[in-house]
Structure 1
Amino acid sequence: MRDSEEYPALDAGVVVADRYEILRRIGKGGMGEVFLAADRNTGQKVALKTLHAKYSRNMNAVARFIREVRLARRLNHPGIVKIFDARQWEGTLFYTMEYVEGKSVRHWLRQRGKLDFGSTVRILCLVADALEHAHKITIHRDLSPENVMVLRDGSVRLLDFGLAKLDDEFRGLTLVGVNLGKLKYMAPEQRLNAATVNHRADLYSLGVMFFEMLAGRLPEDNEKISRACPGLPRNADDFMAKATAQNPADRFSSARELRDDLLRLYKEPAKRPSPADRLRKLAGFLRGLFKGGRGRS
């Protein structure tokens, strides 16, 4: 299905709802497109996100969208992107939010492959701090490297709070419209019945991100982080296991507890690589030399 059926044609210069002048498209995801727009009422630049047409055609989804945006507007934390306005315009649901200039964690992973331990801890602690505030009101349910922005000053912003709940209306379609890659970040209970999850589903997602940011890839089933990243503090495996426990009751009780445990982990001395770890690292280094030397005379 082409964009013309899924999204409105919003070229530069189009004015949405007699207020928001489209400047350019800045992103596209599974739920919709994002544009940079000028708010004619305030003179400020905002990010305007249009949602997939399937949401506008479903009255329950429209009602849920309005409810979730109202909840998200109550979030007042420096680590959460502020939502300003939400409407239905010419059959399309859209909302406007704070425009922040930064790069997603996904961008940094693509550019660098993986992040160092200090950067990972810092980013996830800031995310957990924002979640601690948000969980008093709502849950995210779609945490991933795509939804965490890192700004130039090193601060972090979370995007798209509560919008994953819109897909509850379409769960009977075997997760049609859900990016299969996002399933890796979903807690087991969320895959079974997303409508009944609590805040600990977000903590599971953070545990998966912890592994991916350090290893540069998603974890295999029951894989220990110490195998993928030798040299981490001794309790890294325990942290990972608790964050991603299959039973929600076995996970951290709150975002604050996860953050505090992550900080304690950061202060621990790094584990010295075992002889087997050193051999694996050397073997990988030699394989790289061999591949790099192929074809040379």
Structure 2
Amino acid sequence: MSLKWIGEYEVLETIGIGTVGTIYKAVKTGATQPVAIKLLLPSVSENELIYRRFEREIEILERLNHPNIVRYYGSGKWENQLYYVMELVEGASLREVLNRKGRIRWQETVEIGWQVCSALQHAHNHGIIHRDLKPANLFLSKDGRVKLGDFGTALDTAAVNLTEMGLTVGTYYYMAPEQIRAERRISGQTDLYSLGCVLYEMLTGQPPFRGENSAQIFDQHLNIPPFPIRQHSPSCPETLERVVMQMLEKNPDNRPFNARSAQGALAEALVEWDEHELEKMEAQHASAVELPEQDQPILKKLLLSTHHEITSEDISWGKLSLLAIVLIAIISLVTWLAD
């Protein structure tokens, strides 16, 4: 039997199912704006450690309020299952965009990186290390914003007794060397390494390290430098390549000092290309109001082009099918008349 209500929220559809929770699209009674609800699975609700970590995720989200982080609206309990309500980002995940396009232009990569750095700096200022930054956790909204989500494995540096320092968490394509070694020294530079992996993939169409299994990929993260980006993407400016390669340094001390400094370095690469584009990007980031169409940042154009490709392809197949039916009818008619 499908779930219809969670407290005062009417469930509209299931968005996704994870290892500890299910995410639903829902709308509050009397409201019109849909939201997303993450509900702890009943099978793990009795697990004290998972239950406490879910509570800690809620506590982390309560402390974060930033335009580039999925907004938190509140939490509660439904039939002994914890849940929290968050912003529903209606657009596409970066994973979906990359699956569709393979890789994206370096200008779009800069803008995504610039916005993610802003989100990371806010989180780091509040003592939160994301620890699982990857394309699937970055969402592109219809107004051209990037939203960082899923803080389920985030490290709260003020509560290390629960989110254990020295615990190996993350996704192996995007894990920093210190995460792989389960070191106690996890910092903002750890997230910057993961962001470097994401930017590398956006520019080249593949993560910096690949292998047949996690052990091979871990070995490369620990010991092998990535191939230069410009070997895969000659159009990438040298300035941008240097920034991304610095993020991918094995030693955290050799990475950018913090997310803000990485953001500044990314902005420099964009300024060299088009200072007006940077101004549009900053204006959209600072404003809650949608800009006029001519001033829309390149990221919104990326999302629109992705949806356009899907729509155009669907229309093309429909036209082809209709054309085939018409041709068959004509051939049948000609054959009948000939007889």
Q: 1:194 to 1:48 in 2, by over 3 A?
A: farther
- After superposition, the Cα gap between the structure-2 partners of 1:63 and 1:41, relative to the gap in structure 1 and judged at 3 Å, is farther
Structure-1 residue corresponding to 2:248: 244
Deviation at 1:53, TM superposition (A): 5.2
Q: Secondary structure at the match of 1:239?
A: helix
Q: Kindly provide the amino acid, as one letter, of the partner of residue 64 in structure 2.
A: L
When structure 1 is superposed on structure 2, of 216-225 and 40-49 the one drifting more is: 40-49
For 1:192 and 1:89, the matched residues in 2 are separated by 39
Which has the greater radius of gyration? 2
- State which of 112, 119, 122 in structure 1 corresponds to 2:108: 119
Contact 2:229–2:241 at 8 Å: present in 1 too?
yes
Measured on the aligned residues, the alpha-carbon RMSD in Å equals 2.7
In the alignment, the residues of structure 2 paired with residue 246 and residue 54 of structure 1 have an alpha-carbon distance, to the nearest angstrom, of: 39
Residue 262 to residue 21, structure 1, CA distance change in 2 (3 Å):
same
How many Å separate the matches in 1 of 2:177 and 2:250?
Answer: 6
1:193 aligns with 2:182: yes
Measured in 2, the distance between the counterparts of 1:52 and 1:193 equals: 28
| Structure 1 residue 28, shift from structure 2 partner | 3.1
**Secondary structure, aligned partner of 2:238:** coil
Distance 1:203 1:53 in 2: 35
Q: Distance in 1 between matches of 2:14 and 2:122?
A: 31
The CA distance in 2 between the partners of 1:199 and 1:54, in whole Å, is 33
Which residue in 2 is equivalent to 1:253? 257
SS at match of 2:125: coil
**1:158 has 2:162 as partner:** no
* Equivalent residue for 2:134, pick from 134, 141, 144: 144
Q: What is the SS of the residue equivalent to 1:50?
A: strand
Q: Alignment partner for residue 110 of structure 1, among 96, 99, 108?
A: 99
State the SS of the aligned residue for 1:258.
helix
Q: 1:95 to 1:262 in 2, by over 3 A?
A: same
- Do the aligned partners of 2:129 and 2:155 also contact (CA within 8 Å) in 1? no
Size of the aligned set, in residue pairs, is: 251
**2:57–2:154 Cα contact (<8 Å) kept:** no
> Using the alignment, how far apart are the partners of 2:56 and 2:184 within structure 1?
15
Q: Could you tell me how far 1:57 is from its partner in structure 2?
A: 3.2
Structure 1 segment 60-75 matched on structure 2, within 5 A: 60-75=49-64
Task: State the partner residue of 2:201.
Answer: 212
Kept in 2, the 8 Å contact 1:233–1:265? The answer is: yes
Q: 1:33 to 1:162 in 2, by over 3 A?
A: closer
Which residue is equivalent to 1:266?
A: 270
Aligned to 1:230: 234
Q: Is the 8 A contact 2:68 2:148 kept in 1?
A: yes
2:68 corresponds to which letter in structure 1?
G
Deviation string, structure 1 residues 226-285 (Cα, Å, up to 9, x no partner): 21211321234422221011111111111111111112123447xxxxxxxxxxxxxxxx
Percent identity between the aligned chains?
37
- Equivalent residue for 1:294? none
User: 1:93 aligned to 82, 91, 94, which one?
Assistant: 82
Is the 2:203–2:236 Cα contact (8 Å) retained in structure 1? no
Contact 1:186–1:204 under 8 Å retained in 2: yes
Q: Which structure 2 segments of 5+ residues have no match?
A: 157-161, 210-219, 274-339
CA distance in 2, matches of 1:97, 1:194: 32
**Alignment counterpart, residue 83 of structure 1, candidates 64, 67, 72:** 72
Question: 1:126-163, CA deviations, whole angstroms, 9 ceiling, x for partnerless residues?
Answer: 11112111211112111111111111121121112354
3-state secondary structure, aligned to 2:129? coil
**Residues 19, 41 of structure 1: 8 Å contact kept:** no
User: What is the distance in 2 between the residues matched to 1:26 and 1:40?
Assistant: 20
Stretch of structure 1 that moved more, 32-41 or 204-213: 32-41
Instruction: Give the TM-score normalised by the residue count of structure 1.
Output: 0.75
CA distance in 2, matches of 1:35, 1:26: 5
Shift of residue 121, structure 1, vs aligned partner: 0.5
